[in-house]
Structure 1
Amino acid sequence: MSGGETGNDDGPPVVVKVGGAKAVDPAGAVGDVAHLAANGREVVVVHGGSTVVDETLERLGIEPEYVESASGVTGRFTDAETMEAFTMAMAGKLNTELTAQFRSAGVDAVGLSGVDGGLLAGPRKSAVRVVEDGKKKIRRGDHSGRIESVNADLLSGLLADGYTPVVSPPMAGEEGDGEVTPVNADADRAAAAVAGALGADLVLLTDVSGVYADADDPDTRVDAAVTPDELAALEDAAEGFMGKKVMAATEALSGGSDRVVIADANVRDPVVAALGGEGTTIERSALADDAAGDETGDADETEGIDA
């Protein structure tokens, strides 16, 4: 394929979120990113890694702890010990290994955590509201945060110099006294924040082919949502982990993206296929008029309390 067919002039940057579940093979995404970058398309990769975090905790003899938010959503409680393992797994092991995979494929990849250069920053949530045994409680000692700013200049500078950033949590958690603490952040929402800041298309790769109207029936995949009514129906259909991805999609669109695609990581040429219409595509036109810039809340995590 010639450079003119996929060059930067033919489209905005692309943010590719590679999932961290065992069922997600990054090999296809690595090859596609190499192809896009070689043809002049600017690409940023954001990755998760919850499975590897849990495996690291297990090797260290630490039991992963999940808590339920007031809205009934389960999320990881990240105390100081868990945060140490999280940083080891994400910024240390996974980010380095994935960056090496991209470099082996000919991509001039640069690994970054959200702490580097204040790439992903926002207030630390040191305490969270949870539900235990049917009662609402406040748990203290958490290391999590909500991304409120992205150092887009850092990413744009790297992209302009021909590099492909490979980004992972943790983010830079801002303490009340001005100190910075590495804290946990949801990788889908991190990818959404980056895509919005760059005005990029966002491809959320996962282990299914998109959002299904019937969660148990792949034949009911919703191909697109371009109106508010279609987005509302999509949000109603999305269950569990897919609900988080649809939320991330709306955040990206509100932040500045024109298009988000939720697609299968394990098909041939997954990123190119997604950009070509495979998967579930959500357009910015699907947002209600008052949705741009609207706070979506912390519905996918325990409700945090600023440090």
Structure 2
Amino acid sequence: MTVVVKVGGARAVDPAGALADVASLVGEGEDVVLTHGGSTAVDETLEDLGTKPTYVETPGGVVGRFTDAETMDVFKMVMPGKLNTDLVESLQNEGVNAVGLSGTDGKLLEGKRKSAVRVKEDGKKKIKRGDHSGTIDSVNADLLETLLSSGYTPVVSVPVLGAEKEGGYTAVNADADRAAAAIAGALEAELVVLTDVSGIYEDPADESTKIDVAATPAAFEAVESAAEGFMTKKVMAAEEALQGGASSVTVATANADAPISQALAGEGTTLEPGAVADGEEVGQ
């Protein structure tokens, strides 16, 4: 069984334990694909360049980044550049023969560019143009499987390859959790989403209310109701992963010894395929 691991990019996430755990799993003969976020590093780089990051709220209440042309250039520099290279370097030092990839390499992650997005500002719905983002329609699983079968460990980041309405492609931003979900679904893998909390809590302020397992649609509805803030997109990504073919999704803390192994052993919040109804449309 392949394991897809997504390491969050929040400042509070320390990837060291996850990287050592990847090395242990690979040493035991497991196939691992590592994916990563990096919004914090992108924001910090934008601020260093004198630009304030822009976040917008959709009419449905989901807050996300607006990626204009300058922000897209910073994404290209930070995500497949410094962050991905740093992770590959660290894995090489752990004895793992890692290969860094962005979604544009070999059409690994492909979709359509959304140049305009619907937003809510001052209580009014508006169209904001000039966006460089997209959703993922396809994954080149053959590329990942070829690397894995040859003994390499892929380390994947956005951007993804977005098709323009006028023809041709451009690199576009996409949510890193949903990118990991697409990969896990395409590989029919177990997905482990590592973040700075130990799972999904019924009361977001109380760690003791962590939900251990969601295996039915009713249980999944409870998870959706409990998720707020950044966790909302992780639950959305988990739903997409399970509908796409992933064998399970676990949301767990990165800041632990052997966090991936612990998550696979039942730590965190595990969402099982039976929690998501077949054919149910996933929100965008």
The two structures have a TM-score, normalised by structure 2, of 0.98
SS at match of 1:56: helix
2:46 to 54, 57, 67: 57
Counterpart for residue 226 of structure 1: 215
Tell me whether 1:279 sits opposite 2:265 in the alignment.
no
Q: Equivalents in 1 of 2:281, 2:176: separation in Å?
A: 18
Counterpart amino acid of residue 163 in structure 1 = Y
Counterpart for residue 82 of structure 2: 93
Counterpart amino acid of residue 180 in structure 1 = Y
Counterpart amino acid of residue 186 in structure 1 = D
Counterpart for residue 237 of structure 1: 226
Counterpart for residue 9 of structure 1: none
8 Å CA contact retained: 2:236, 2:283: no
Counterpart for residue 154 of structure 2: 165
Q: How much does 1:143 deviate?
A: 0.1
Counterpart for residue 185 of structure 1: 174
> Where has structure 1 moved over 4 Å in runs of 4 or more?
none
Q: How much does 1:297 deviate?
A: 2.4
RMSD: 0.8
Q: Equivalents in 2 of 1:223, 1:132: separation in Å?
A: 37
Counterpart for residue 196 of structure 1: 185
SS at match of 2:136: coil
Counterpart for residue 80 of structure 1: 69
Counterpart for residue 108 of structure 1: 97
String of CA shifts for 1:205-225, please: whole Å, max 9, x gaps. Answer: 000100001111000100000
Counterpart for residue 56 of structure 2: 67
String of CA shifts for 1:77-122, please: whole Å, max 9, x gaps. Answer: 1010111011111111101111111111111100000010111110
Counterpart amino acid of residue 224 in structure 1 = V
Q: Equivalents in 2 of 1:272, 1:28: separation in Å?
A: 10
Describe how 1:258-269 pairs up with structure 2 within 5 A: 258-269=247-258
SS at match of 1:103: helix
SS at match of 1:209: coil
Counterpart for residue 243 of structure 2: 254
Tell me whether 1:206 sits opposite 2:192 in the alignment.
no
Counterpart amino acid of residue 205 in structure 2 = D
Q: Equivalents in 2 of 1:71, 1:176: separation in Å?
A: 25
Percent of aligned pairs with the same residue?
64
SS at match of 2:126: strand
8 Å CA contact retained: 2:98, 2:152: yes
1:35 to 21, 24, 29: 24
Q: Which runs of 5+ in 2 are unaligned?
A: none
String of CA shifts for 1:248-297, please: whole Å, max 9, x gaps. Answer: 11110000011110001001110000000000011101112xx34x4312
Q: Equivalents in 1 of 2:77, 2:38: separation in Å?
A: 11
Q: Equivalents in 2 of 1:16, 1:48: separation in Å?
A: 11
Q: How much does 1:178 deviate?
A: 2.5
String of CA shifts for 1:149-188, please: whole Å, max 9, x gaps. Answer: 0000000000000000000000001112331101100000
| Larger mean Cα displacement after TM superposition, 198-207 or 96-105 | 96-105
String of CA shifts for 1:110-150, please: whole Å, max 9, x gaps. Answer: 00000101111100000111111111111111000000000
* Number of equivalent positions: 284
Q: Which runs of 5+ in 1 are unaligned?
A: 1-11, 299-307
Counterpart amino acid of residue 72 in structure 2 = M
Counterpart for residue 282 of structure 2: 296
